[in-house]
Amino acid sequence: MMHIMHVIDSLEVGGAERMLVEIANQTAANGHRVSVCVTRSQCTLAAAFQSDIALTTLNRRCRFEWVAMKNFASLINDQKVDILQAHSRSTFAFLSLGKTLGLIHLPIILHDHYGGVEINSSIPLWFRIWAKYFVHHYVGVYAKLATWAEAAGIPKKRISVIENALDLKSFCQAAPLDLRRELGILGDVLIGIVGCGLRYEKGIDVLLEAVARCSCHHSLTILVAGGERDQIYAQACREQSSALRLQDCVKFIGERGDFPNLIKGADFALIPSRSESGPLVLIEFMAAGLPFVSTKVGAIAHRVAEMGIPEFVEPDDAGSLAMALDRLVNLTPDERRERGKAGKEIALECFDIRQKMAHWYKIYAGAMAEARTR
């Protein structure tokens, strides 16, 4: 039995955080010891862990905080941890400093979920000249991240790609919300759903322009569910929506704790992102049986597009997004249901977290074996 500690800056709602929960829960379900350390303080997803997974918060206030570093070193010694899995580059920087100071002696796996790689593939100087030497194994969720890691100087034998995947039960089994009643949506309109934190990479500004161009936008209500990750960008999107006179068509409904139920109550889904490493939300939409329009960004979107599911468009192209939305809306109800059914079958066949765990256990075993020989 191994003891894996997952380490992350926060447990706010996001792709990296969701994947940490999924891997931790499945590893614990398979009989290994699992713990989680949040180096700062936000723990929105804490309730999502199995009861036997220990959760610790360090409450550090800056990247390199001496007290937090010492407390972390004591924690991993007291809990007899075997492997550390870092779920962001900034978390990995924190652990690398612990290595440099001689406070941490465990193998570190960097699980890279960076979603902006299609916009910014630059390599930070701190990683190139220092931190790369502390990566026992690098796991990217997208082939472009593996290319980034190799360019950063990590040996190819220490690089793997493991696609994101989820425990799909909650999305397959969720009861749909009556969104018309809950949100006061009037008339015989189709309801679309977007799920993302509001920041530039997610392309909400492109979506708004596309909806304004869509020939049938007066028969739609688009719900944008997600927190304000960039308040300036979020405010600009609201102002853009007002300027385009979309207030009755596009509703910003904030972060939701009932997202599976929310999307089961919608008629279709949208992903307008400029850059993604996944995206996880595409798996969620497919598992819920929703037809969708999506930009072709990230590993999951490219793979699903290759399987023949239609209505993928290039990022940052409002015209193409509008035409794809028109095509989807003009399908008959039966045609939309059939498209949603096809996506659900792909989700169940290709993106179940249980299918990915053998890859993780091989990496964990290799890291432990290497650590024993040092």
Q: What is the mean pLDDT of the chain?
A: 94
pLDDT reported for residue 239: 97
Number of helices followed by number of strands (H, E) in the chain: 15, 13
Give the domain CATH number at 232. 3.40.50.2000
Task: Say if residues 350 and 168 touch (Cβ distance below 8 Å).
Answer: no
pLDDT reported for residue 216: 86
For residues 228 and 286, state if they share a domain.
yes
Q: Is the pLDDT of residue 63 over 80?
A: no
Question: In this predicted model, what pLDDT tens digit does every residue of 174-184 receive, in sequence order?
Answer: 999 999 999 99
Q: How confident is the model at residue 371 (pLDDT cuts 50, 70, 90)?
A: confident
pLDDT reported for residue 374: 63
For residues 200 and 125, state if they share a domain.
no
For residues 342 and 364, state if they share a domain.
no
For residues 340 and 217, state if they share a domain.
yes
How many domains does the chain contain in total? Answer: 2
For residues 203 and 304, state if they share a domain.
yes
Question: In this predicted model, what pLDDT tens digit does every residue of 294-320 receive, in sequence order?
Answer: 999 999 999 999 999 999 999 999 999
Question: In this predicted model, what pLDDT tens digit does every residue of 146-201 receive, in sequence order?
Answer: 999 999 999 999 999 999 999 998 888 899 999 999 999 888 899 999 999 999 99
pLDDT reported for residue 318: 97
For residues 31 and 135, state if they share a domain.
yes
Question: In this predicted model, what pLDDT tens digit does every residue of 96-140 receive, in sequence order?
Answer: 999 999 999 999 999 999 998 889 999 999 999 999 999 999 999
Strands (DSSP E) found in the chain:
3-8, 33-38, 54-57, 83-86, 108-112, 137-140, 159-161, 190-195, 220-225, 250-252, 268-271, 292-295, 312-313
Domain carrying residue 285? 169-350
Q: Is the pLDDT of residue 38 over 80?
A: yes
For residues 239 and 341, state if they share a domain.
yes
For residues 182 and 259, state if they share a domain.
yes
For residues 188 and 128, state if they share a domain.
no
**Mean per-residue pLDDT for 5-32?**
95
For residues 49 and 143, state if they share a domain.
yes
For residues 95 and 220, state if they share a domain.
no
For residues 363 and 331, state if they share a domain.
no
